[in-house]
Structure 1
Amino acid sequence: MSAAELLALVLGAAIVGFSKTAVSGVSTLAVVLYAVVLPVRESIGVLLVLLMAGDVLAVCIYRRHADWATLRGLLLPVTVGIGAGAAFLALAPTDWLRPLIGLVVVAMTLLQVRRRFAPGSGDAVNGGRPAAVGFGSLAGFTTMVANAGGPVMSLYLLRSRLEVARFVGTTAWFFACVNATKLPISIGLGLLRPQRILLCLMLIPAVVVGALVGRWTLSRISQALFESVVLVVAGLSGAYLLFA
């Protein structure tokens, strides 16, 4: 691995930490970086470990603010989505994964754009069991296939009208539980190999640094402007994976 590739992995790990304490959508950039530097299947497993490290930090900070009723309503559809994603990973040719990740990133970016610039457009699917089933299953599938379920959950929770602390706390607990569920599945599918554990451990400090920077930065910059920049970069990065 070249110095430039290692630097890209460190940057991606810091982005993961930043996404857990600042802007959740920025994690799509890490998905793209890891899919470019590492073999695609391995990138999914390595990134999962780093996301779990970020989950620990997020839960420690927001552990008392989860909306458990919302989480219970998502349990079954998310499980179905994870199962569908695992089946896809087990059966799909490796050549499909990189463009699929690009497609997922682009789609999730468009969802974030809709949430960012048309906040009232999702009122028709606000709350209710159909929304939980639709968003939950899609979040499960996208997070299993590409570690890119964040925008789907953000869109759903935004429509659930949770106040800020409960929004962040619910997101933190949701992904802590989901990613822990994905870990044994990912190992069974060969996405996370023992040879990559040392790399994961080396990158975890960058996750911590990114999380601390995220907490410090969020109160000092315009989040609206930052989200707009992230959306543009994520969309272009996803398009690169899709068409390269």
Structure 2
Amino acid sequence: MLITDPWFYALAIPAFLITGISKGGFASGAGNTGVPMMSLVMPASQAAGIALPVLCAMDIAALRAWWGKWDREQLRILLPGAVIGIGLGTLVFGALSDAVVKIFIGTITLVFLARSLWLERGNRVVPAAVASKIKGRFWGACAGFTSFIAHAGGPPAAVYLYPLKLDRARLTATTVALFATVNYLKLVPYFFLGALSLQNVLTSLVLLPLAPIGIRLGVWLQGRMSDRVFYRIIYVLLAVTGVELVYEGLFR
């Protein structure tokens, strides 16, 4: 029942370490590479099923590291939309092709980056955006939907959160709390949709030790660089992710 393909583990192990580092606070929300990488050797729906229990374990470790530091106002804005997105994802899970999902997520990511670079051209100081329920609920719904389909809710959430220019700890903690809630809400529909099969869960258990390792690496890295470097690394990671997703959606 357990997956034994060595190529699967060659992709899954580094993917989950990167994801854990992201959840630990380093380039928060930009490093969830598990499903895209595992999808190279299996259907995206199966990769999502394997990833979810591991992500839930990472969420517990990440919440312990960032407990109480999140922005309650932004969570109140984002979560209702995220719940709607989860509902929409439940309706279409398995119906959308991998290509469509990858192009959708990659396009959102690249549009966000282009907008950010345009606003900051010539080292312009861009004032922080004002919190908006309308924008937050919309992007929260996008994040809930893409998270349900491919555990890739980070870019849509970033479109709303990053322009607010929250300090690093608050940004990380808010992202952690948002996706911890989303991931645990996804467990019930994933179970009824058959994504948490015995084979998938057994494979998740094998990968589970990567959760605390990745989180601790992320916390360690997060506290050792400036805000400017921190956001530049986020942009680079999102750019690479966006281009790769669009490329795979169009040509693979």
Shorter-chain TM-score: which interval?
0.7 to 0.9
User: What is the match of residue 97 of structure 2?
Assistant: 97
Aligned counterpart for 1:241 among listed residues 219, 243, 248: 248
Q: For 1:100 and 1:177, how far apart are their aligned partners in 2?
A: 26
Where structure 1 has 5 or more consecutive residues not aligned to the other structure, the ranges are none
User: What is the match of residue 77 of structure 1?
Assistant: 81
Shift of 1:124: 10
User: What is the match of residue 191 of structure 1?
Assistant: 195
Q: For 2:189 and 2:119, how far apart are their aligned partners in 1?
A: 35
Provide the identity percentage. Answer: 28
Q: For 2:119 and 2:216, how far apart are their aligned partners in 1?
A: 29
User: What is the match of residue 58 of structure 2?
Assistant: 54
Shift of 1:25: 4.2
User: What is the match of residue 230 of structure 2?
Assistant: 223
Asked if the contact 1:125–1:131 (Cα under 8 Å) also holds between the matched residues in 2, the reply is no
Aligned counterpart for 1:66 among listed residues 67, 70, 78: 70
Shift of 1:4: 2.6
Specify the SS of the correspondent of 2:196: coil
As a proportion of its length, which structure holds more helix?
Answer: 1
What are the residue-to-residue correspondences of 1:101-116 with 2, within 5 Å? Answer: 101-114=101-114, 116=116
Structure 2 residue 168 is matched with structure 1 residue 164:
yes
User: What is the match of residue 4 of structure 1?
Assistant: 7
Structure 2 residue 5 is matched with structure 1 residue 27:
no
Per-residue CA deviations over 1:100-127 (Å, capped at 9, x if unaligned) read 2311331243155246524569989742
Q: Per the alignment, do residues 44 and 229 of structure 1 end up closer, same or farther by CA in structure 2, a change over 3 Å counting?
A: same
Structure 2 letter corresponding to 1:215: V
Per-residue CA deviations over 1:173-218 (Å, capped at 9, x if unaligned) read 1111111001111111112212211211111212322222223334
Where structure 2 has 5 or more consecutive residues not aligned to the other structure, the ranges are none
TM-score (structure 1 length as normaliser): 0.86
Q: For 2:128 and 2:215, how far apart are their aligned partners in 1?
A: 34
Query: What RMSD in Å do the two structures reach over aligned CA positions?
Result: 2.6
Bigger shift: residues 232-241 or 177-186: 232-241
Asked if the contact 2:105–2:146 (Cα under 8 Å) also holds between the matched residues in 1, the reply is no
Bigger shift: residues 73-82 or 193-202: 73-82
Shift of 1:152: 1.6
Q: Per the alignment, do residues 210 and 116 of structure 1 end up closer, same or farther by CA in structure 2, a change over 3 Å counting?
A: farther
Specify the SS of the correspondent of 1:37: coil
Q: Per the alignment, do residues 174 and 223 of structure 1 end up closer, same or farther by CA in structure 2, a change over 3 Å counting?
A: same
Q: For 2:145 and 2:62, how far apart are their aligned partners in 1?
A: 22
Structure 2 letter corresponding to 1:30: G
Shift of 1:159: 3.2
Bigger shift: residues 9-18 or 160-169: 160-169
